[in-house]
Structure 1
Amino acid sequence: MTIGNDPGLDRRGFMIGSVATVGAAAALVTGAAQAQSRSTSAGSLAVDGKGTVFTGDTIDGKKVVTSLDVKDLEAGQTHRLYFQGVETPTGQHWYVSVTVTRGAKPGKRVVLTSGVHGDEMSSIHTVHTVMNQLEPAKMSGTVMAVTDISRPALESMQRRWPNQGRGIDLIDMNREWPGNENGLTAPSRHAGLLFNRLLRPNADAAIDFHTGTTGFEVTAFNIGEIDRPEVKAMLDLYPVGQILNMPKAAYPTVLHNAFIDVGIPAIAPEIGAARVLDREMIALFVEGTMNVLKHYGIVAGPMGRTAKGMAVFVGNSGFPVLATAGGLVEHLVKLNDKVVPGQKVAIQRNSFGEVVAEYTAGVAGEISGQRSDAMSEPGNPLAFILFNKAPQDGVEIYPE
């Protein structure tokens, strides 16, 4: 999840992401035993969409590529491949799953990504559901899905990539884009390989799906810059009640903004809680994504539900309500509730059941996220309030 910030608070020690046990995660590379002869050097790879390069390897019957141009794949079919990412500490590779549904007729290319954070399951299921509805023989254009970008994080269902540079560093891969193929960390290099050789060359538009993080649930909302007409057009095609109008300057290194930087319209949906499948929310984002594909003429048919006629709340910042004590958290408002300054939104009790802290809204807005773990220590976010910050107040970035 990505969200704005308020400058008036001390956030020392504020970290949302889970710090899960990662001892064995970096050693688990799906399909590594099946792949042979991985001797392709970086200098021999096609870069920036200049063609498809197959390594000659297969994993579970799926061919491995180090660079992809979807025009090289047969039209009217769905293709399943592995993209060879950065090397692991043992010198093997992290492989990323790639599904390409190429229509029988030419047209626009839309890229769907998920798994940038390893604890976000509803985002992956949303992309799977969309891809399973596509009929390539009836399509004009191409949809490419990449659903497990941060493989080592996904192996242990944790938010961050366990990098092995100085002991184990936990790196948020959604602060690494567009990456650097010669960067100082494996996640930076992995991002650079994917962006240069897989994602950017095959996208006329992109959608990067996320959820809340472990211990913190969000409502159904989209992130995108509404001042960009093509971005606003995509945002308006989703039947969800909130939009975070986030300027690119707030988070320049998240994936959807890396697409924006190279002229590709992109948004980032947020789909409920981490580590679970929220089927009700997933259905909303599947419907909205199919609307986007219809908007670009890739699939035919009438539009589903959109934001038209909905009371969509648009804000440009997220006001954090941070715990000042430890104890059991009781929320007094729900996701999507409107709040006003001074309204009590949560209380906290100690082990005796005594109220040790009360929390109020500091701004007028709507609840966009709440802590889902029932207990909290000081410094954890208990809630985010989507609101509108005045332009003169500037933008401050959360560490997560």
Structure 2
Amino acid sequence: MVRVSFLFSSFLLALSSSAQTVYTGESLDGFKVASRIDVSDLPLNSLTKVFLRMPKNQIGQNWFVPVMVAKGQNDGKRLFLNSGIHGDGLNGIRVIQRVINDLDTSKMSGVVVGIPGANVNGMLQNKHRFVSMSGSGSLTDLNQYFPGDTTYPDDVYQYVGTLWEDLIFNNNFTAAVDFQTQATGNTASLNVDADVSVPYVQKMVDLSGADVAVTKAADPESGALDDNLTNVGVAALTYTLAGPRVFDAEPIQRGYDFAQRLISDLNIHSAANTTLSASSKMLVTDTVDTFYAQLGGFVETHVELLDSVTEGQVLATMYDPHGDIIDETKALHSGIIMELMTDPLREPGALIASVAVSKI
């Protein structure tokens, strides 16, 4: 459940007007540490690499999140790139590292800010979710808790709230992309999730080069980063770059090319050789049929990502320990396979497949 209050939102608005970069005087691996980052304070024509100081863990030591800021020779629009909000979602990290390191700040007008790995807690534990150690421990999806709350006595709220208050909300971004992957045990096509009724978001979708675009109505109560950015006037979408816990060259390159196209379209920096192929095709839909295991067992899939499927087609078969069929998963509508399990051991409620429904 997401805890959001009107008073807290008003508090954030007040913060945004008085924000400034605050360095703590510490360093980590030779990089400065900041408790708040305001790109307006940073010098023109600069590439800044810093750690954002996060809340303390159970042994009284702070978490630190890496931040990269490329600021141009002139003022302009501001783009925010996030990755690793889930600890097993690594492809976006490499996208951001490459994109920002490749920018020539002397030829830029505007700012690109990147977080190459937001959930350092989950990354350290090889977990999709944030790991809390109090009591018997718990796992929490950070992308259900934005905007968080730094004053609330809870590690997840404070962690998310620090990202939001001290880096994301206060920098008045023009546009934002949250790069994710599917969770461990699953994989996905390259797909974007976006509210195209928001100004400029449709253009972002068009530039994405994704296999599938899922349109939605943004709901800040979901706690999702993109929905909360949209709620404060930022054009934002989530871009899923295939599967977890790998650096997968093709999705990384496609994410990189999209980021460069977006930077160029925002007139921040000119991009070279990232034009979408005329043969690029993207299924746009507002309906996704997602299938979860109803029983526990061993599942064999009969389809691959991006396969076209028809209503009634068998997508997967579940077997008991002796190899007898105990369940089948069948397509409800025609469409293409957007997400698919990779681990055949499925508990009740585990993902089996999702179908992006064709509207034609």
1:79-90 matches, within 5 Å, as: 79-90=48-59
Which of the numbers 248, 265, 268 marks the counterpart of 1:298? 268
Deviation at 1:189, TM superposition (A): 1.1
Does the alignment pair 1:163 with 2:101? no
SS of the counterpart of 2:216?
A: coil
Distance 1:115 1:88 in 2: 19
Which of the numbers 143, 151, 164 marks the counterpart of 1:195? 164
Note if contact 2:194-2:216 (Cα within 8 Å) is conserved in structure 1. yes
Deviation at 1:118, TM superposition (A): 0.4
SS of the counterpart of 1:182?
A: coil
Matching residue of 1:311: 281
Distance 2:303 2:330 in 1: 11
Deviation at 1:74, TM superposition (A): 1.6
Matching residue of 1:233: 203
Matching residue of 1:93: 62
C-alpha offsets along residues 194-218 of structure 1, whole Å, 9 cap, x if unaligned?
1112112222211111000001111
SS of the counterpart of 2:180?
A: coil
Distance 1:225 1:211 in 2: 19
Note if contact 2:220-2:227 (Cα within 8 Å) is conserved in structure 1. no
Higher strand share: 2
Distance 1:250 1:350 in 2: 41
The percent of aligned pairs where both chains have the same amino acid is 27
Deviation at 1:388, TM superposition (A): 7.2
SS of the counterpart of 1:237?
A: helix
C-alpha offsets along residues 235-268 of structure 1, whole Å, 9 cap, x if unaligned?
1102122001122138631011111111011111
Distance 2:278 2:324 in 1: 46
Which of the numbers 237, 247, 254 marks the counterpart of 1:267? 237
C-alpha offsets along residues 351-391 of structure 1, whole Å, 9 cap, x if unaligned?
333333222112232211010102223332210112379xx
Matching residue of 2:119: 150
Q: Report the more deviating stretch, 235-244 or 327-336.
A: 327-336
Does the alignment pair 1:104 with 2:83? no
SS of the counterpart of 1:197?
A: helix
Unmatched segments (≥5 aa) in structure 1? 1-45, 390-400
TM-score when normalising by structure 1: 0.81
Distance 1:259 1:250 in 2: 8
Cα distance change on mapping 1:342 and 1:251 into 2, 3 Å: farther
Does the alignment pair 1:117 with 2:109? no
C-alpha offsets along residues 130-174 of structure 1, whole Å, 9 cap, x if unaligned?
122211111111111112222211111201111234431211100
Distance 2:153 2:273 in 1: 45
C-alpha offsets along residues 253-303 of structure 1, whole Å, 9 cap, x if unaligned?
101111111101111100111111211111111111110000101111457
Cα distance change on mapping 1:299 and 1:283 into 2, 3 Å: same
Note if contact 2:299-2:319 (Cα within 8 Å) is conserved in structure 1. yes
1:1-400 matches, within 5 Å, as: 47-48=15-16, 50-202=19-171, 203-249=173-219, 252-301=222-271, 304-306=274-276, 310-387=280-357
One-letter amino acid matched to 2:139: L
Distance 1:243 1:124 in 2: 21
Q: Work out which structure has the larger RCO, using CA pairs closer than 8 Å and 6 or more positions apart in sequence.
A: 1
Q: Report the more deviating stretch, 208-217 or 340-349.
A: 340-349
Distance 2:73 2:276 in 1: 27
After superposition, the CA RMSD in angstroms is: 2.0
Q: Report the more deviating stretch, 201-210 or 268-277.
A: 201-210
Distance 1:208 1:369 in 2: 18
Q: Report the more deviating stretch, 210-219 or 165-174.
A: 165-174
Distance 1:133 1:339 in 2: 40
C-alpha offsets along residues 25-74 of structure 1, whole Å, 9 cap, x if unaligned?
xxxxxxxxxxxxxxxxxxxxx94252111111111111111111112112
